[in-house]
Amino acid sequence: MIAARLSAAGHRVALTARSADQLTEVAGKLSGPSLSLPADVTDPDATNSVFDKIEEAWGPVEVLVLNAGAAVAKPLTKVTDEEWQSQLELNLTAPFRAMRRAIPAMVERGWGRIVVIASTAGKIGEPNVGAYTASKHGAIGLVRTASAELARTGVTVNAVCPGYVDTPMTDGWVTRIAARTGKPEADIRQSLADKQPIRRLIAPDEVADAVELCVLSAAITGQAINVDGGTVQS
């Protein structure tokens, strides 16, 4: 949805994910030019490779939206070292690498927009998502530091913090919780919706609204914008 929104606004959109098939599907729905660049962003060499291909085709990246993410849903004492590290790599280290690669060209041009899709889990603690919560707290801290460093350069850096969104990631979360607890998936999904005062899951286009605002405004920077139906008031 974010890619479609930016494409409709006139941006050329480069897409990256591990699944080439998913990239092809998304690219086929965009209204403007696109590049599909399969990559695993947790691979230290992948970021430079993706940026090199974009720059060769179109020049420096002007708008960077960092939306890769996943969650491990289990009690903290059950999280393995491998699961902990994988959450940090995907949700925190991969955005850091991409930001580090994009910022110099943005500063040189005097304009850039960076938006990290974080989570309300980056602002509060919830049971059974310790590794995810820690990584998202870190992502918001990264955004705040980068925005402070870049405040006078024309480059803005923000986080968008969704609550529970109606996406495949939430579907997977529901399935894992059901497997662990034995509760019906429909009941779990409803319980997630009920955590939000609006009593429903957030729609993907509502997250895209916040991303688009961050791209449009030069005065919004260093923020972690909640899109959560009023769950976290800040």
Mean pLDDT check: name the lowest of 11-15, 72-76, 92-96, 152-156: 72-76
3-state secondary structure (DSSP) of residue 207: helix
Give domain status of residue 124, yes or no: yes
Q: What is the pLDDT of residue 212?
A: 98
Q: Is residue 147 part of a domain?
A: yes
How many domains does the chain divide into?
A: 1
Distance CA 98, CA 66 (A): 8
Q: Report the SS3 class of residue 224.
A: strand
Q: What pLDDT does 172 receive?
A: 83
How far is CA 12 from each of CA 27, 61, 98, rounded to the nearest angstrom?
11, 10, 18
Q: The whole model's pTM is what?
A: 0.95
Q: List, in sequence order, every residue forming a beta bridge with 108; answer none if it has no partner.
A: none
Lowest mean pLDDT among 42-56, 77-91, 163-177: 163-177
Task: Name the band, by pLDDT with cuts 50, 70 and 90, for residue 175.
Answer: confident
Give the model's pLDDT for residue 87. 97
The CATH number of the domain holding residue 33 is 3.40.50.720
Q: Which of 115-119, 186-190, 215-219, 226-230 is predicted with the least confidence, judged by mean pLDDT?
A: 186-190
Residue 21 pLDDT > 90, yes or no? yes
Residue type, 98: A
Q: In this structure, is residue 46 part of a structural domain?
A: yes
Residue 170: inside a domain: no
168 assigned to some structural domain: no
d(CA 46, CA 40): 6
Angstrom distances, CA of residue 129 to CA of 112, 122, 213: 32, 11, 29
Q: What is the pLDDT of residue 9?
A: 97
Please state, in angstroms and rounded to a whole number, the distance separating the CA atoms of residues 153 and 183.
51
- Cα(131)–Cα(140) distance, integer angstroms: 15
Q: Which of the pair, 103 or 173, is modelled with greater confidence?
A: 103
Residue 172 lies in a domain: no
Active site amino acids: 132
Q: What is the pLDDT of residue 126?
A: 84
pLDDT for the residue 178: 87
Average pLDDT of the chain, as a whole number: 95
pLDDT tens digit string along 98-112? 999 999 999 999 999
Q: Burial letters for 186-219: b for 16+ Cβ neighbours within 10 Å, e otherwise?
A: eebbeebbeebeeeebbebebbbbbbbebbeeee
Q: Which of 59-68, 185-194, 223-232 has the lowest mean pLDDT?
A: 185-194
Q: Is 188 inside a domain boundary?
A: no
117, 138 Cβ separation under 8 angstroms? no
Residue 115 lies in a domain: yes
How large a percentage of the chain has pLDDT more than 90?
89
Task: Locate 52 and state its tokens.
Answer: 């090199």
Quick one: pLDDT at residue 144?
A: 98
Across residues 203-224, what is the average pLDDT? 98
DSSP letter, residue 192 = H
Q: How far is C-alpha 154 from the chain's CA centre?
A: 22
Asked if residues 110 and 154 have their Cβ atoms less than 8 Å apart, the reply is yes
Q: What is the pLDDT of residues 57-90, one digit of tens each?
A: 999 999 999 999 888 888 999 999 999 999 999 9
Residue 101, domain extent: 2-163+202-227
